[in-house]
Amino acid sequence: MGKDVIVACDFASAKQTFEFLDKFTGRKPFVKIGMELFYAEGPEIVRQIKARGHKIFLDLKLHDIPNTVKKAMAVLSSLDVDITNLHAAGTTPMMQGALEGLTRPDGSRPLLIAVTQLTSTDQETMERDILIKEPIDQVVMHYAKTAKNAGLDGIVCSPLEAGKVHETCGSKFLTITPGVRFADGDVGDQKRVMTPAQAKQIGSDYIVVGRPITAAADPVAAYERCVAEFCD
C-alpha cells in the first residue's frame, strides 16, 4: 500500500455513514472506523463497508494483557481490515501477542500501527498522572522505537513528527498522521495542523482527514482535493 488519504468516518450510525459514503461514486476512499461507530453498530459495519469496496483502518486502540489482545486481534483480522492499532504503552509482550493474533493461517495480516502518547496528553498531565518525567517528544520517539522493535509497521503521529520518526525508525516505518487541514480551511479543535501538501512533503505515509471532508459542502470534491495534494 502506498500513500493514501484515509477518511475518518466519525459518525454515530450506519445510516449516517452510508449516506456519506453513497456520495462517492468514483474512487472509493480508504475509511477509518473509530470506537463510536464500531461500538454503535458492531462488526457488521466493518463487513458492510468492506463489501462496498473500501479499505479499512479500524481504529480501536487496543490495550490489555497480551493474551486478551492476541485473541481480540484474531477477531479483527478475520474481519479483513487493512490497518488496525493498539497503544504502545501496552508494552512489547502485548504488541508481539497482537501480531501473533493478527497473522492469518496463510501468513498475511493487517498492518499494525501503534498509538504513542495521545495528542490530548501534554507534558504536565503525563508527569502528574502517569509519572513519566522525560520530555514528551522523547517519550513519543521511544515508543516508536519500541513498536518498531516489536515488529509493528508504524505509528500514528502528528505530521510535524513524521520526518523525525522516519529518521529514527527508517523510511519504511509507516507514519499515519491526523491533524490535516486545507490552507484556507477551519482548524477546529486541532492545534498543530498541516495541509495535505505539507504532509506529503514531510513524508507522511497516510493522512487521516475527518471534518475537512465529512463537513464539507461537497465532500467528494474535498476528498479529491486531498488526494490531488497528497498522493499525486
Q: Of the two residues 74 and 216, which places its CB atom closer to ligand C5P in the complex? A: 216
Nearest distance, CB of residue 100 and ligand C5P, angstroms: 25
Catalytic site includes residue 61: yes
Nearest distance, CB of residue 13 and ligand C5P, angstroms: 16
Nearest distance, CB of residue 193 and ligand C5P, angstroms: 9
Cβ pair 58, 76 in contact under 8 A: yes
Q: Of the two residues 10 and 80, which places its CB atom closer to ligand C5P in the complex? A: 10
CA-to-CA separations, 33 to 15, 199, 207, 230, in angstroms, rounded: 14, 22, 14, 21
Binding site for ligand C5P (CB under 6 A): 8, 10, 34, 118-119, 156, 178-179, 190, 208-212
Q: Considering the candidates 15, 61, 70, 145, report the single residue annotated as catalytic.
A: 61
- Gap between the Cα atoms of 161 and 32, Å rounded: 21
Would you state the cell numbers that stand for residue 104, as one nine-digit string?
492469518
Q: Of the two residues 178 and 219, which places its CB atom closer to ligand C5P in the complex? A: 178
CA within 13 Å, CB half, 225: 16
- Number of neighbouring beta carbons within 10 Å of residue 47: 13
**Closest CB to ligand C5P belongs to which residue?**
210
Q: Of the two residues 97 and 196, which places its CB atom closer to ligand C5P in the complex? A: 196
Would you state the cell numbers that stand for residue 197, as one nine-digit string?
501538501
Nearest distance, CB of residue 116 and ligand C5P, angstroms: 9
- Number of neighbouring beta carbons within 10 Å of residue 138: 10
- Gap between the Cα atoms of 185 and 227, Å rounded: 16
Catalytic site residues?
A: 61
